[in-house]
Chain A
């Protein structure tokens, strides 16, 4: 690949047809790995990244433990085949630096002090790299953290802004990244607090201010996509239909029962129907009343949920 002759067409659109303030299409899937406590697969332009969260779990070696808080470990790793020229598997200076700043992008929002001595592991794998893999990985990691049930003050959204042919553009594409004049990846909280910022290239102070405005727009859009992805995971929310169906079908089972036992069964069946009815009434409340003992921010009650067994 060589440097494109121009980065904008006559209408001011970019190489891939985007406006200067438009991000590449993003697709998010939540909960894709059965072994991780939380996970996310994210495609953004031609980036394909996977994030998995494990923990809070026990931290080894023990000397790394901190008695007052959990630590966050973040691994940014690229698959050997994720880029044009194969890279050697395993960490290198670049991935080590990205892992560090990405971890620090989450530390302000994750409530680590709720898990003394433990570790929350965030692993991100870049399966295909386009431009902006670190921001893609952060966007996936925040979803995986939520999916793992890790308490956070909010999601983290990340996007880059850059300068190409003297113009500021949002979410650099591959060529824009390779041949542009500046690259400014930023991660921010929903309130706009910056949790990651890096830059290379050259920007005037005025351009920088403008760039920050632009990147805020990008992060807002991404935050919306992230929210939608999380909300979409449980779309089967209200299952009135199942309820109706169940009530309608329940008595049918009698039909299939052998005549010889029918009398007996009928008695049982009536009993059960009563049970079902009462349960129906409480059912609505159950959902509302279910308390969870695992209350991260407020641990006032010590009630037990326990079940022994009695036999009838």
Chain B
């Protein structure tokens, strides 16, 4: 396994055919464009340590409404580019006068990037099951570059987190993570996510987090746990589970790339 820190302009390889993301080719050689980790298992990719989210078609993200017009909601996405949700992309018919009643400035929602044009005009949709306005729970922000780590291979990290904390979790591609559950469970989960984000380069991370959550829960009152799961079940909707099936397929696609 090759896990090497690289910096912009660093020579990576002469294998131009396999130059991947985060690299550039100059005079028959592959160099890094970014400050990050080299992954040259198959293609030569550099995964940056940090960086802003760039909207990309089909991404699921969490946005915050910053402007409401008579026919559009404009969402801030934690990116250089805001997203436009036209009223026709909302799941039900809304009159102009009702716009603010449905979502007003400061409201957050789970949305999908429907399209991004070359000038980076971002169109959003909510016409899909599972996409919705978020009314409860918390939104935690992590660096978008750490999203794959939070999900883990085949979703291993995320399923462990869910199991250990009894919380619902939705990870937006833009690094915004929605969590919902009992307050003290959310506190623990929040700490765990923070830990993942701070130690994203460490190996044995899932283990470390597992241990952290276990030790924490020993300290805390275990009696509550049953009540919690019931609470969470109540909040559950069919819609959410639908997203989840979709999810496991896609996360696997992402984390088990074509090279296997």
- Find out whether A and B make contact in their complex, taking CB atoms under 8 A apart as touching: yes
Q: From known contacts A55-B80, A256-B218, A307-B247, infer whether A272 and B210 are also in contact, taking CB-CB under 8 Å.
A: yes
For B256, list chain A residues within 8 Å (CB): 289
A234 to B203, CA, bound (A): 13
CB <8 Å contact, B1 and A312: no
**Which single member of A38, A243, A290, A296 contacts B207 (CB below 8 Å)?**
A243
A26–B202 alpha-carbon span in the complex (Å): 30
Asked whether any CB of chain A lies closer than 8 Å to the CB of B109, the reply is no
Q: Is the CB of A295 within 8 A of B22?
A: yes
Contact B251 A305 (CB under 8 A): yes
> Given A288-B1, A295-B22, A306-B246, are A115 and B206 also a contact pair (CB < 8 Å)?
no
Chain B residues with Cβ under 8 A from A261's Cβ?
A: 222
Q: Which of B1-28 contact A (CB under 8 A)?
A: 1-3, 5, 7-9, 20-24, 26
Q: Looking at the complex, which one of A230, A242, A309 makes contact with B244 (CB distance below 8 Å)?
A: A309
A148 touches B (CB below 8 Å): yes
State whether A306 touches B250 (Cβ < 8 A). yes
Query: Complex Cα distance A302/B59, Å?
Result: 8
CB distance from B39 to the nearest CB of A (A): 5
**B169 and A307 contacting across the interface, CB-CB below 8 Å:** yes
B41 within 8 A of partner (CB): yes
Given the known interface contacts A292-B21, A294-B51, A297-B33, the answer about A279 and B250 at a Cβ–Cβ threshold of 8 Å is no
A307 to B130, CA, bound (A): 11
Mask of A47-89 contacts with B, CB within 8 angstroms, 1/0:
0000000011111000000010010000000000000000000
A294-B145 in contact given A146-B35, A250-B211 (Cβ < 8 Å): yes
Q: Name the A residues within 8 Å of B185 (CB-CB).
A: none
Which of B88-96, B98-106, B233-241 has 4 or more CB atoms under 8 Å from chain A? Answer: B233-241
Q: Is B186 an interface residue (CB 8 A)?
A: no
Asked if B63 is at the interface of the complex by the 8 Å CB criterion, the answer is no
The answer to whether B154 touches A116, judged by C-beta atoms less than 8 angstroms apart, is: no
* Cross-chain contact B80 with A311 (CB below 8 angstroms): no
| 8 Å CB interface, A261-312 against B | 261, 272, 275-276, 278-280, 282-299, 302-312
Interface residue A9 (Cβ < 8 Å from any Cβ of B): no
Query: Cβ of A101 < 8 Å from any Cβ of B?
Result: no
Judge whether B8 and A118 touch: CB under 8 Å: no
Contacts of A58 in B (CB 8 A): 80-82
B206 — which chain A residues lie within 8 A by C-beta? 276, 279-280, 283
Q: Is A246 in contact with B247, judged by CB distance below 8 angstroms? A: no
Count residues of chain B with CB under 8 A from any CB of chain A: 99
Query: Restricting to B219-258, which residues have a CB under 8 Å from any CB of A?
Result: 222, 229, 232-233, 236, 240-247, 250-251, 253-257
Residue tally, chain A, CB below 8 Å to B = 83
Across the interface, which residues of B come within 8 angstroms of A250, CB to CB?
207, 210-211, 214
Q: B205 contacts A292, CB within 8 Å?
A: no
Known A284-B203, A290-B149, A294-B53: A308·B240 in contact at CB below 8 Å: yes
B204 touches A246 (CB 8 A): yes
Q: Which of A127-135, A152-160, A200-208 interfaces with chain B?
A: A152-160
Q: Are A307 and B171 in contact (CB under 8 A)?
A: yes
Does A192 count as interface, using CB distance less than 8 angstroms?
no
Q: A152-B33, A276-B210 are in contact. Are A298 and B21 (CB under 8 A)?
A: yes
Q: Is the CB of A295 within 8 A of B35?
A: no
Q: How far is the CA of A303 from the CA of B253 in the complex (A)?
A: 7
Cβ contacts A138-160/B at 8 Å (1 or 0 each):
00000000111111111100000
* Most chain A CB neighbours (cut-off 10 Å) among B80, B244, B256: B80
In residues 150-207 of chain B, which contact A (Cβ within 8 Å)? 151-156, 158, 160, 162-163, 166, 168-173, 180, 199, 201-207
In contact, B145 and A312 (Cβ under 8 angstroms): no
Question: Contacts A117-B119, A146-B7 given: A243-B169 contact, CB under 8 Å?
Answer: no
Residues of B near A249 (CB, < 8 A) are 211
Residues of B near A234 (CB, < 8 A) are 5, 49, 201
Chain B hits for A297, CB < 8 A: 21-24, 33
Which residues between 149 and 179 of chain A lie within 8 Å of chain B, taking CB atoms?
Answer: 149-155
**Mask of B38-81 contacts with A, CB within 8 angstroms, 1/0:** 01010001011111111011111000000000000000000011
A291 and B208 contact, CB distance less than 8 A: no
Alpha-carbon distance A310/B130, docked complex (angstroms):
12
A257, CB-defined interface residue at 8 Å: yes
Besides A304-B254, A308-B241, 4 other A-B contacts (C-beta < 8 A): A291-B21, A305-B151, A307-B151, A311-B233
Name A's B-contacting residues (CB within 8 A).
37-38, 55-59, 67, 70, 109, 111, 114-119, 146-155, 189-190, 227, 230-231, 234, 236-240, 242-243, 246-247, 249-250, 253, 256-257, 261, 272, 275-276, 278-280, 282-299, 302-312
21 contacts between A and B (CB under 8 A): A57-B52, A146-B8, A147-B50, A153-B33, A190-B9, A238-B3, A240-B204, A253-B214, A279-B160, A288-B1, A288-B3, A290-B255, A292-B22, A292-B45, A293-B173, A296-B22, A305-B250, A305-B251, A306-B247, A308-B240, A309-B170
